[in-house]
Amino acid sequence: MSFERKNIEKMQGYAPGEQTEAADTIKLNTNENPYPPSPQVAEALKSIDVAALRRYPSPMADSFREAASRLHNISAEQVIPTNGGDELLRLVLTTYVEQLDTIAVCKPSYSLYPVLAGIQGCRLEEISLNDDWSMPEDFLERLHKSAPKLLILVNPNAPTGALLRTDYLAKVAESFSGLLLIDEAYVDFVDPQLNYDSISLINSHDNILILRTLSKAYSLAGLRFGYGIAAKSLIEPMMFKTRDSYNTDHIAQSLATAALNSCEYARENCIRICQSREQLRADLHTLGLTAPASQSNFILCQVPESIGAEKLYLQLKQRNILVRYFDQDRLRDRLRISIGTNAENTALVTAIKQLTQQ
Ligand SMILES: Cc1ncc(COP(=O)(O)O)c(C=O)c1O
């Protein structure tokens, strides 16, 4: 006999990308940052007083909230620090989505969303992107019809790397009566010339919530730190009712605060990664692997049928190069490749050349 709730019994858990401790693996499968965190983060770690750990951490992560409010020019009350961006997603569902409600997401997008809908036991509406990964023309009509309580748009999209403009996001938020969660896990890799900045939307739209993470641009995936940005009225129920009282720990708060306070370092790394992205995309193109333009720290490459995406993924794995293969409709002929250092990217290109042109 199973003691699980019925919807938990029925659902599949999230399958994270492979992790490895092997130092000789080139890891381009989970969109981690190839560079270390800032020296200020390293300093903050060194200066942690282990004796301080006998106390509970700051319940509201005050220093981090202040740092985030300075960075984004918003008030601390418009920020909720979380244990990774993933915790924010879970909190939004717990706080705002009833079991009879619908969550709408695009397909493809972050594969955790359907899992969270399964845990919550609510309805899930997956709206397919066009073949070129743009939004379907009838998206707003579909939204109107399904009337979701929560729409999650990942921007730039994962796994496609496509970016939606802020005026479109504002139009979406105005066209339905639920919440719009803009998952900006990869926003720091957007070309600065595009002047993308959605933060001001939270002042004009009290149904918009923005997710940020320190896992990607700040090279802190192992720390587990993210945050939400929204109108105070959306932040408060999560801050004071639904999150664990100490959802982020003392060490994580100190390091995350140091990371935001040294954001210039992360910004420079992001610029380097974007330059490498364009080089890698061009190099793979010459090998017949094409990828649409990406505003993220990964590209989604189409692999010719004669090579086979799954086969190439397995062959690369044998050579200790990990990339991401999704056994999913519309993605089986593709590989999602995170941008590594230039040396890692070159090793990948060399391996693909050897495997496909012998
Ligand atoms: C689209 C998207 N959103 C959110 C996250 C959550 O990141 P984290 O929990 O590491 O902050 C990820 C992680 O890969 C992601 O790809």
- Probe target for ligand 1 pocket from 92, 107, 215, 297, with the most ligand atoms within 8 Å of CB: 215
Provide the β-strand partners of residue 211. 183, 228
Q: Is the CB of 86 under 6 A from ligand 1?
A: yes
Rounded Cα–Cα distance for residues 106 and 133 (Å): 10
Rounded Cα–Cα distance for residues 228 and 37 (Å): 21
Residue 287 φ then ψ, to 5°: -95, 5
Q: What is the dihedral of CA 177, 14, 155, 26, to 10 degrees?
A: 180
Residue type, 241: K
The helix/strand/coil state of 134 is coil
Omega prior to 159 cis, within 30 of 0: yes
CA-wise closest residue to 357 among 102, 340, 349: 349
Q: What is the whole-number distance in angstroms between the Cα of residue 186 and the centre of ligand 1? A: 8
Residue type, 209: L
Task: Yes or no: say if 120 and 149 are a contact pair by the CB < 8 Å rule.
Answer: no
The helix/strand/coil state of 82 is strand
CA-wise closest residue to 284 among 229, 236, 327, 339: 339
Q: Where are the alpha helices (H) located in 205-262, listed in sequence order?
A: 232-237, 250-261
Q: What is the whole-number distance in angstroms between the Cα of residue 185 and the centre of ligand 1? A: 6
Q: Is the CB of 116 under 6 A from ligand 1?
A: no
- Probe target for ligand 1 pocket from 107, 182, 183, with the most ligand atoms within 8 Å of CB: 183
pTM, entire model: 0.97
The angle, 0 to 180 degrees and rounded to 10, between the axes of the packed helices 250-261 and 39-46 is: 150
CA-wise closest residue to 220 among 31, 21, 62, 24: 31
The pLDDT value given to residue 114: 96
Kindly report the protein residue whose alpha carbon is nearest to atom 2 of ligand 1.
185
The helix/strand/coil state of 24 is coil
The angle, 0 to 180 degrees and rounded to 10, between the axes of the packed helices 62-72 and 250-261 is: 20
Q: Is the CB of 158 under 6 A from ligand 1?
A: yes
Residues of the chain with CATH 3.40.640.10: 39-261
Rounded Cα–Cα distance for residues 208 and 293 (Å): 27
Q: What is the whole-number distance in angstroms between the Cα of residue 165 and the centre of ligand 1? A: 20
CA distances from 40 to 81, 134, 264 (A): 20, 39, 11
Structure tokens belonging to residue 341: 């250092």
CATH of segment(s) 39-261: 3.40.640.10
Q: Is the CB of 221 under 6 A from ligand 1?
A: yes
Q: Is the CB of 157 under 6 A from ligand 1?
A: no
Q: How far is CA 261 from the centre of its chain?
A: 21
The pLDDT value given to residue 22: 80
The pLDDT value given to residue 311: 97
Structure tokens belonging to residue 75: 């008030």
- Probe target for ligand 1 pocket from 112, 152, 188, 229, with the most ligand atoms within 8 Å of CB: 112
Q: Is the CB of 31 under 6 A from ligand 1?
A: yes
Interior CA angle at 14 toward 90 and 218, to 5°? 65
Give the model confidence (pLDDT) of 5-52 as tens digits. Answer: 999 999 999 988 888 878 889 999 999 999 999 999 999 999 999 999
The pLDDT value given to residue 358: 63
pLDDT under 70: residue ranges of the chain: 358
The third-level CATH classification (topology) of the domain covering 20-37+264-356 is: Aspartate Aminotransferase, domain 1 (3.90.1150)
Residue type, 174: E
Residues of the chain with CATH 3.90.1150.10: 20-37+264-356
Residue type, 28: L
